[in-house]
Structure 1
Amino acid sequence: MNSADRESRHLSVHVDRTADEVYAYAADPENLPAWALGLGGSIKRIDGQWVAESSPMGRVVVTFVPRNELGVIDHHVTLPSGETVSNPVRVIGDGEGSEVVFTLRRQPQMSDADFERDADMVTGDLNRLRELMESAESAGAEPRRGS
């Protein structure tokens, strides 16, 4: 598949919390298990790397861009095969709330059904993030951390 054949889809969700609040929570790898189920039920720092042992894809290593003031939470997921998948993510201010945008890229040899399944999973993750952030706001608390 050449670059002209690659397909991307921007999946987003509006969150009734400020961009700073959403970024602070979503950019913390320890919080991923609470909302990003595609990375499994836990993530741990092992030998300087973030490792998800129980992801649906098997053991994966997740590398994040450094914290920044631009709302960028890009990360690379290295699969058990050694292949690395890049995941661009942005938290953008939207009035008193924010928008979280995940760019899903179709991988080489990925079927239409697999691409739709991935889109559904990412949409579910974004909705969980929104629910956690908004329910914590209504309770006057910080969202709970991952397990």
Structure 2
Amino acid sequence: GSGRKKRKRALLEAAAGGRAAGNQGPQPGAGEDEDEGAAEDRISQIPDAVLGEIVSLLPTKDGARTQVLASRWRNLWRSAPLNLDCGGLLPILTHHSDLDRLVSRILAAHTGPGRRLCAPWRNGRKAGKLESWLRSPALDNLEELE
């Protein structure tokens, strides 16, 4: 809701403030080709910590997809605070039974702290599976469980 919007706005303002204060200057060669119509790469100027926060606000599927953008982004999603919404993963799965396996793989690959876990309960899922997920280091310092 509005808390998420305020957090996004604060992150963007922090990124803009960091550039203005000289904390993160332009990349070498940035803006040199403006006469030739080359676009300035402003995303490269954003610190990794801010990018990680932005990635953590994305739906799980989209956050994971950022790894293919550039070499700099490969580890961002894995180290960003995890926002794992299992319901958002269901459309990409062939069978609902694959969800437990996929969530376990995500938790094994993710090295960052856990911000949110939304795991829809369904008949047949053993309490032990959820318990094993909650013991994962990827969910250390979990802020929200749904």
TM-score bracket, shorter-length normalisation: under 0.3
Q: Give the TM-score, by structure 2 length.
A: 0.22
Structure number having the greater strand percentage: 1
Higher relative contact order (CA 8 A, sep 6+): 1
TM-score by length of 1: 0.22
Higher share of residues assigned helix: 2
Q: Select the structure of larger CA radius of gyration.
A: 2
